[in-house]
Amino acid sequence: MINLTINGAAHAVDASPDMPLLWVLRDKLGMTGTKFGCGIAQCGACTVHVNGVAMRSCVTPVSAVGDAEITTIEGLSEHGDSPLQKAWVAHQVPQCGYCQSGLIMAVDALLKVKPKPTDAEINAAISNICRCGTYARVRDAIHDVAKA
């Protein structure tokens, strides 16, 4: 059994230590907000926070997060109404929506270390891929949250 703290709750999970955190979240715990995209840490659909740092869960073995505090999109806000999530809706960022949970998690981690990021800082920190190409809306939403 592997003991994890996810979204503030303790979980004992029967999983192989080398199982990617993504599959523990989705298959073992039923937390399906974190998405599988590429499986090689390139697209960012699987982004979660580990001790506040955005990490790609598809390549992170569950054994690497042992005592860490893990936050998924489900733990970002109880009702999906964080300022960032509200800005996402206001700017109509989601199109197909598939990448959005990972993108929101990456942006949330950025805003915690850079509350008022420049466009260059956003470009450097956010490498998530959105196939719908809503990057301009993402940037507008980030700047709105930064102003608040």
pLDDT tens string for the chain (148 positions)? 999 999 999 999 999 999 999 999 999 999 999 999 999 999 999 999 999 999 999 999 999 998 899 999 999 998 989 999 999 999 999 888 899 999 999 999 999 999 999 999 999 999 999 999 999 999 999 999 999 8
| 2-76 fold | Ubiquitin-like (UB roll) (3.10.20)
Local structure of 49: helix, strand or coil: strand
Report domain extents, the chain: 2-76, 83-147
- The domain 83-147 having CATH identifier 1.10.760.10: the answer here is no
Q: Which amino acid is at 39?
A: G
CB 129 within 8 A of CB 37: yes
Count Cβ neighbours within 10 Å for each residue of 68-95 and write b for 16 or more, e otherwise. Answer: bebbbbbbbeeeeeeebbbbbeebebbe
